[in-house]
Amino acid sequence: MTSRSKRLSTLFLLAILLISSAGIRIFFETGPALAKEISEQENWAGKPQPHTQTSSDDTPPNFQEMLTAFREREAAIEQREMEIADRVHALEIAETAIDQKLAALIVAEENLKQTLTLADGASEGDLTRLTTVYEQMKPKDSAALFEQMDPEFAAGFLARMQPDAAAAVMAGLEPNTAYTISVVMAGKNANVPTE
């Protein structure tokens, strides 16, 4: 069951309870009044009536008050029903807007994933081509380039190269540079858990 249907069913149940409450009040409050009215009519039934038309004096004094109270309650119930209908409508509009925004976010996320996948693939392709170029260069020329590189950057390329090509490049490096690159390469996986 979706949150929208839960909200609608809750509001519908609330409306039914309010209407039922009003019906029960009307039933229990009008019952005694009607019984009194019937009783009075039965008492008057045996006696001759002076007038054929009923006057306003024949109605019980609290009948008008009860009628006014019923009308006020009915108006209050109608007002509550309109407020509930307005709230339900507002919830439907808000839920539609949320659904649209959520759908737009899902589409944007999928587009971003595709873009990142393309970018990662392009970067990986570039690194692979450059690594191949370094492997195919003369070790002396590659070593001169690796001397100029940042040790972490150089270590990344050497780790991707074929072991014999990487060894030839390392052999052509200055001892301090070769040592620094070796430390970087060894330290990359030092913190990886073994278990």
DSSP string, 45-67: HTSPPS-SSPPGGGS-TTHHHHH
Q: Could you give the maximum distance between any two Cα atoms of the chain, in Å?
A: 136
Residue 96 vs residue 5, higher pLDDT: 96
Residue 132 vs residue 24, higher pLDDT: 132
Overall average pLDDT of the 15-32 stretch:
75
**pLDDT tens-digit map of 76-91:** 999 999 999 999 999 9
**122-151 as b/e, with b when 16 or more CB fall inside 10 Å?**
eeeeeeeeebeebbebebeebbeebeeeeb
pLDDT at res. 79: 93
Look up the pTM and report it: 0.38
Using DSSP's 3-state secondary structure scheme, residue 184 falls into helix
Alpha carbon distance 118, 104 (integer Å): 21
The answer to whether 17 touches 80, Cβ cutoff 8 Å, is no
pLDDT at res. 98: 92
Tally the residues of the chain: 195
Domain regions of the chain by residue span? 3-45+60-117, 137-188
pLDDT at res. 81: 92
Q: Tell me which DSSP letter residue 2 carries.
A: -
pLDDT at res. 46: 53
Alpha carbon distance 20, 183 (integer Å): 81
Structural tokens at position 167: 């060894």
Residue pointed to by tokens 């039933």: 27
- Whether 121 has a pLDDT exceeding 70, the answer reads yes
Residue 119 vs residue 140, higher pLDDT: 140
Residues of the chain with pLDDT > 90: what percent? 13
- pLDDT band at residue 195 under the 50/70/90 scheme: low
